[in-house]
Chains A and B, each alone.
Chain A
Amino acid sequence: MTTAAYQIDAPAKTTTLTHQYVAFGIMTAFFVVAPIFIYPVFLMQALCFALFACAFNLLIGYVGLLSFGHAMFLGTAGYISAHAAKVWGFPPELAILTGTAASALLGVLAGALAIRRQGIYFAMITLALAQMIYFFALQAPFTGGEDGIQAVPRGIMFGFLDLSNQMTLYWVVLAIFLFGFLLIYRIVHSPFGQVLKAIRENEQRATSLGYKTDHYKLIAFVLSAALSGLAGATKAIVFQLASLTDVHWTMSGEVVLMTLLGGLGTIFGPVAGAFIIIAMQNYLAQFGQWVTIIQGLIFVVCVLAFRRGVIGELGRYLKKPL
């Protein structure tokens, strides 16, 4: 009888995953054809932020930790990879790797300090650490202060991919995004991810079952930091620039907006949220000073209309988690 119950339900489980594969297929197909009718630079910018938002969502959506300092990982990786490419003459793949590793390391330090705190205290500590990184970036000689690091060479990836060609660069950025996205998907749907969800749902209970929750939270934090770093490092190579904008606290806020707008704790939500925010910033740029206000209004309307975020509501409508 027990096996019968299990067999009946086995197909149900498979379908839950199938529709996510379909959604992934649609998303990938869109990115493959998009450069035909959308300006590739915009797409690359959006992809970098989408990866950043996905990495951030790994923490807030699946562990329940609200970091308000994630810009430190985006920005640090940007500076390190820009410096590695420009001053040390690293090829782009190594520059990106170095930047990502730097953010992972920063993630270990910041995580070790922040992880024991709960709720608002966790947010405060991450914010404080990010502010320290900001002032460091402002003062340190190698970051170029207000100017940032400019004219970063894109270089030739793996010795044969010339990134000065815009379409080559686009495919590389898309590949990096998809790698990060799939890794996050895998993390969420792994035995480790299952424990993360348990911690999000009821940390005390997870502890009473024998899980050392701090270890799990720290690993998730470092993974999120590293993937945010990957986004920041890629962005620095794409735009040939590392600047204070990426370590500023408003960037930490923006990634919160993207994730909320798209749908907290959904796989595809942060991608949609990042695209909406970046599109808004680009198309509203003509309104000058008003951008922030219009953006704020749109955000308020969206949050009121779609409480679960755009993708969260869509998934609810389709009765399938996306």
Chain B
Amino acid sequence: MAGDVILEAKGLTKEFRGFVAVKDVDLQVRRGTIHALIGPNGAGKTTCFNLLTKFLTPTRGRITFNGHDITHAKPADIARMGLVRSFQISAVFPHLTVLENVRIALQRKRGASFDFWRSERVLDSFNERAIELIDAVGLSDYVHAVAVELPYGRKRALEIATTLALDPEMMLLDEPMAGMGHEDIDRIAALIKKVSVNRTVLMVEHNLSVVANLSDTITVLTRGQVLAEGDYASISKNPEVQQAYMGSGDA
């Protein structure tokens, strides 16, 4: 698993009015790996994601992506550079159809879609690719369903299809399997494995068996700080990690 570092954070810190949610986090994600970020509730995982994708501005610290300093970039620019995230709470466009959801992402490739005088039929050229993506996440039967009517697990699948539509170099997935049944979990896990080829994935996940199966590297976060880092075998033996998880009653 020798790859260069694609995403790096140094001394990343975020304070909310005196409360330190993320403290001095150093993180290196190697290209082509699946990297998991785990930790008890409130550890600061989502905040880390928000910092890395610029939805929050860090109080201190530096972030580089592919060697570019992105500490002060805007979230839309990050996405354009190939770093695309999902959200902890499922993020679809609820009143658009599955096809339209995916097309919104595909449409981005046209550049800025400011052409309000043109018919939306020009977007039909994306249908074929959209349907390929929809098939890939197992939503073939729902192409014209309205997103809000999908069951929860399917919504998450749609979200992944939408993210994949941008063909991002790196994906950040915030608890992609939260609230899913076993069947869905297995399908999404297989999907993540499949799409991680030629891609880097950083994911937050509470389901430790998923993490064990999927990830190359695991970083454990507690109270905003990195507690341990390594592969699953070494992490699971780490007494501090065991205690952190026991202590919070999690896992």
Contacts and interface: CB of A to CB of B under 8 A. Distances in A.
Determine the interface band of chain A, counting residues with CB < 8 A from chain B.
Answer: 20 to 34
Interface in B116-161: 116-120, 122-123, 127-128, 131-132, 135, 140, 143-144
In the A-B complex, the 6 residue pairs with the smallest Cβ-Cβ separation, listed nearest first, are A210-B79, A201-B93, A192-B116, A205-B91, A191-B113, A187-B116
A223 B118 CA distance: 15
A223 B117 CA distance: 12
A205 B92 contact: yes
B119 A12 contact: no
Nearest to B162: A209
Contact of A6 (B86, B91, B112, B127): B127
B35 interface: no
22 contacts: A3-B128, A5-B131, A5-B140, A6-B127, A186-B116, A189-B119, A190-B116, A190-B117, A190-B120, A191-B120, A198-B104, A202-B91, A202-B93, A205-B87, A206-B104, A208-B87, A208-B91, A210-B108, A210-B166, A211-B76, A211-B108, A216-B114
A206 B96 CA distance: 13
B195 interface: no
Contacts, number: 115
A314 B85 CA distance: 40
B150 to A, nearest CB: 14
Which of A186, A207, A209, A213: most chain B Cβ within 10 A? Answer: A209
Contact of B110 (A12, A189, A191): A191
Interface string B76-103: 1101100011110001111110001001
A209 B166 contact: yes
A206 B100 CA distance: 13
A216 B74 CA distance: 16
A190 B115 contact: yes
Interface string B56-83: 0000000000000000001111011000
Given A189-B120, A201-B94, A205-B87, A9 B143 contact: yes
A219 B96 contact: no
Given A6-B131, A192-B114, A207 B93 contact: no
B53 interface: yes
A215 interface: yes
